[in-house]
């Protein structure tokens, strides 16, 4: 197994263990089905996103689409496909979608923080040229180590979500469903903001003309998070 694959595998194990610890809705059988289905959909979605990003290369080298060990996974593609699968799973099994998401959303930024080091292994995720010491440490040619910035920021987001989850447990005036939506909303706003601003530094992400797809999706993340918080606030307002 490549070191890239090992790092990704570690993040998956961390995420699964966290979910199994905090899941209170699913039996062991349904839990396994959800985990397997989510992993498959996330990997396929991440790969499809990456292939669409570099369609000019893969259209000339189609066999490389299956070369997963070489890297190339788009996190937004993983989010979208995995979320769609989880939503369908919840509808089919009559499970609260946000409560299920909340059982693992807190650990996601930690997994992302660790996973970004796989970019370093594959020497990808660089940004524009810089003379800063960080650029010199991680790249002899002096490029912004955007993967490193995102790793640190995701770690900070994980700590913030963990603190919010701890505080939420001590509150008694907020329903479980509302608190679950807020936790998800904070993640969407936090990660959306991280990616939106870091996209300005990156030169290797999917863009159409001068529009970066990552920034469009980041804005959608932020707006969705704001919508959830606003909706929860209105529903919680005394009549």
What pLDDT sits at residue 239?
46
DSSP conformational letter for 211: E
What is the mean predicted confidence (pLDDT) over 11-16? 95
Checking if the pLDDT of 171 tops 80, the result is no
**Residue 110: CB atoms within 10 Å:** 20
Tens-place pLDDT, residues 65-85: 887 766 678 899 999 999 999
- Secondary structure (H, E, C), 92-118: HHCCCHHHHHHCCHHHHHHHHHHHCHH
What pLDDT sits at residue 177?
55
Residue 92: burial class (beta carbons within 10 Å; 0-12, 13-18, 19+): exposed
What is the mean predicted confidence (pLDDT) over 8-28? 92
Tens-place pLDDT, residues 87-107: 999 999 999 999 999 999 999
Checking if the pLDDT of 173 tops 60, the result is no
Residue 33: burial class (beta carbons within 10 Å; 0-12, 13-18, 19+): middle
What pLDDT sits at residue 97?
92
Query: In whole angstroms, what is the distance from residue 220 CA to residue 167 CA?
Result: 27
What is the bridge-based pairing of β-strands 207-208 and 211-212?
A: antiparallel
Mean pLDDT over all residues of the chain? 87
Q: What is the pTM of this model?
A: 0.88
């Amino acid at each position: 197994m490549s070191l890239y694959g090992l790092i990704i595998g570690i993040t998956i194990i961390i995420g699964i263990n966290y979910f199994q610890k905090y899941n209170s809705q699913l039996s062991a059988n349904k839990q396994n089905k959800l985990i397997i289905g989510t992993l498959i959909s996330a990997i396929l979605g991440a790969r499809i996103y990456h292939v669409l990003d570099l369609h000019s290369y893969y259209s000339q080298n189609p066999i490389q689409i299956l070369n997963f060990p070489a890297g190339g996974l788009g996190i937004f593609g993983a989010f979208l496909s995995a979320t769609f699968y989880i939503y369908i799973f919840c509808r089919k099994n009559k499970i609260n979608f946000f409560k299920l998401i909340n059982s693992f959303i807190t650990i996601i930024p930690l997994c992302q923080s660790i996973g970004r080091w796989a970019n370093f292994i594959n020497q990808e995720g660089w940004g524009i040229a810089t003379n800063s010491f960080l650029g010199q440490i991680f790249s002899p040619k002096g490029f912004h180590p955007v993967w490193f910035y995102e790793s640190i920021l995701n770690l900070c987001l994980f700590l913030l979500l963990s603190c919010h989850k701890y505080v939420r447990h001590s509150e008694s005036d907020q329903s479980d469903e509302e608190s679950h939506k807020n936790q998800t909303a904070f993640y969407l706003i936090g990660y959306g903001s991280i990616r939106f601003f870091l996209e300005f530094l990156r030169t290797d992400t999917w863009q159409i003309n001068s529009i970066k797809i990552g920034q469009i999706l980041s804005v959608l993340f932020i707006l969705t998070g704001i919508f959830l918080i606003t909706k929860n606030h209105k529903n919680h307002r005394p009549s």
